[in-house]
Amino acid sequence: MIAPEEVPSWIVFEDDRLLVVNKPGDVVCHPSKAGPWSSLVGALREYARLPTVHLVFRLDRETSGLVVLAKDPRMASRLQVAMQERKVGKRYSAILTGELAAAVTVDAPLGDDVSSPVFMKSAVVAPGEGQRAVTHFTPKSHAAGFTLASVVTETGRKHQIRAHAQWLGHSLVGDKIYGPDSRCYLDFIDQGWTEALAAKLLLPRQALHCAEIDFRPARVDHVFTAPLADDLRAFLAEKKFVPAVSALPAPPAAPARIDGPGA
């Protein structure tokens, strides 16, 4: 449950039409049956004292970072259409297992992972069996066998970053579904967070953070940014990343490209 006093500290931007927040990594976006203070949308509706607020796009519960809501239907429709037409720039920060040596683009279709015990899991599939998905990974810094990376997606598929990172061989730290064993997710549902899971996953959530949203391609003059969440900063500090958080380097002119099977 969300405490009302928490919400003001999450606000990144607010005007008469928009509400932008930096969501913590343990908050679900969509309303639930447990009342308004059980979800981000419900809590922000109460905070704004409006009958409704419109979620422009969502983040998975465990993903932290920027979430945009509109206060009126016209702005919501405008931004949702811009999102669908890929006219909104989004950049994520992710902590990957292993040291990613250079920038890489993964162009590999995604579909249901029919071999997984987790029914919601996606996986890279053969052409024609899934939806096209393109993800750009740019390493930012390395330490202790991990990589802090900037991630940009060209497409918006379910669990795209997480599935492509696993296929690349660099799963996100803390990922219960796309990490070392998807049965970690089932164990978590059954038993909660345990010492055994902590030993395997290192973090209690996937290390993914929506760091920037650029609405300028949609002719809305706003670029929003959110610093890396405290738990992810603490992980970087523990692993002695130097610098732990810094300005992103310019991407290389021609990043390596890895195409999916049969491409």
Residue 85: both structure tokens together: 């037409």
Whether 26 sits among the annotated catalytic residues: the reply is no
Closest alpha carbon to 230 in 12, 24, 72: 24
Q: Is the pLDDT of residue 247 over 50?
A: no
**Alpha carbon distance 175, 99 (integer Å):** 17
The reported pTM is 0.90
Catalytic residue among 26, 60, 214, 221: 60
Mean pLDDT of the region 181-205? 96
SS3 per residue for 26-70? CCCCCCCCCCHHHCHHHHHHHHHCCCCCEECCCCCCCCEEEEEEE
- What are the pLDDT digits (tens) for 71-86? 999 999 999 999 888 8
pLDDT of residue 252: 44
On the CB side of 197, how many CA atoms lie within 13 Å of its CA?
21
Residue 150: count of CB within 10 angstroms of its CB? 19
Q: Is the pLDDT of residue 62 over 70?
A: yes
Would you place residue 32 in the very low, low, confident or very high pLDDT band (cuts 50, 70, 90)?
confident
Q: Is the pLDDT of residue 249 over 60?
A: no
Q: Is the pLDDT of residue 96 over 70?
A: yes
Longest CA span, the chain = 52
Closest alpha carbon to 102 in 256, 259, 258: 256
Q: Is the pLDDT of residue 6 over 60?
A: yes
Q: Is the pLDDT of residue 133 over 90?
A: yes
- List the domains of the chain with CATH numbers: 1-85 (3.30.2350.10), 89-263 (3.30.2350.10)
Please give the DSSP secondary-structure letter assigned to residue 202. Answer: S
Percent of the chain exceeding pLDDT 90 equals 76
